Structure 1
Amino acid sequence: MKQLLEMLPIVLFFIAYQMDGEQLLFGDWTYTFNGIYSATAVLMLSTVAMLPIIYAINRKLEKRLIWTSIAVLAFGGATLLFKNELFIQWKPTVFNWAMALVFAGSHFFGEKNLIERLMGSQLQLPDAIWRRINWLWVTHFTVVGTLNIVVAYTFSEATWVSYKLYSSIGFTLLLMILTAALMGPHLKQNVAPENGE
């Protein structure tokens, strides 16, 4: 449920972008969608609106979600203020590269890397597996950030907007599948003694 809520602002961003030139009527007031700028405003508003809903469901907000929201507001605000779409196009790259640095840096500070700190209370895995998963996430964030900026500078704005939606869903699913594949064999080992096998 939380994952779907987190994807909702990106979906709404995509929909708002597709409505370029369309008009909404609110009584005597008319709003005309203005491409990337309207989409950015929708992204910002929906990101902020999603926070209390997620808090109501989970009774907490993850730091990653808070930092994502701050990045959306900062880069989105700059996009609207300066009327320059490059700010919002750079947001996924800057955020993903920052996440890659944080996850990579966690290998060198403390006894546990970041992925083990996040999930270690729920799962018991060998240290080597935690390290592999953490490096998988570092690779994921690095690749996703790099591909985002390549698409932003190589293709049209419309292509980048579509890429942002579909790549967010696709790369998230791929990361979850690869993470589960690394964990899977070790989860069976953890469960086996409890089942008397």
Structure 2
Amino acid sequence: MKSREIARRYAEALYSLAREEGIVDEIESGYGRVVEALDAVPDAMTFLTHPLVPRGDKLSFIDRAFPDIPEYLRNLLHLLVKNGREGYIRLIYDEFINLRGEREDIAQVRVATAKPLSQADKDKLIEHLTAALGKRVKLSERVDPGLIGGVRLELDDKVIDGTLRAKLAQLQAALAG
């Protein structure tokens, strides 16, 4: 079975349970914090996926590192450790987000900017995207100082790059060509 299929099954089970219990937002939020923390500290993921680290140590790490996550999410993370599938944590989260978007008609838009957007700018962007896409929009924001200025939007496999860095690259290509 392919990795994405495995991740999708875990994500479907988690989503179904979260829907039944009315805690989809809490699960998504908690899972997002887990993934952010693991991304921020690469050694944490190395620890979780290392075959020589005892299972009990991995379970203790999860409990200590994420004491405030919902119980169902904690149970999922424990199950992944017990099944030797710790490496799927990120992929299951991505599938959970995709699944929620499909089932609840939510567009997951990733926005990258050189500086953090103000709440007013976020609200305006969400308003325009909602009108353009005809569905609810959920933004996930990333700050990348290398963009210099402007905004880069990603939705599924579409990218709208309105960053200064992209414009400079286009200008350079035009001058060279």
The TM-score range, normalised by the shorter chain, is 0.3 to 0.5
TM-score, scaled relative to structure 1: 0.33
Question: Which structure shows the bigger proportion of residues in helix conformation?
Answer: 1
Question: Which structure shows the bigger proportion of residues in strand conformation?
Answer: 2
TM-score, scaled relative to structure 2: 0.36
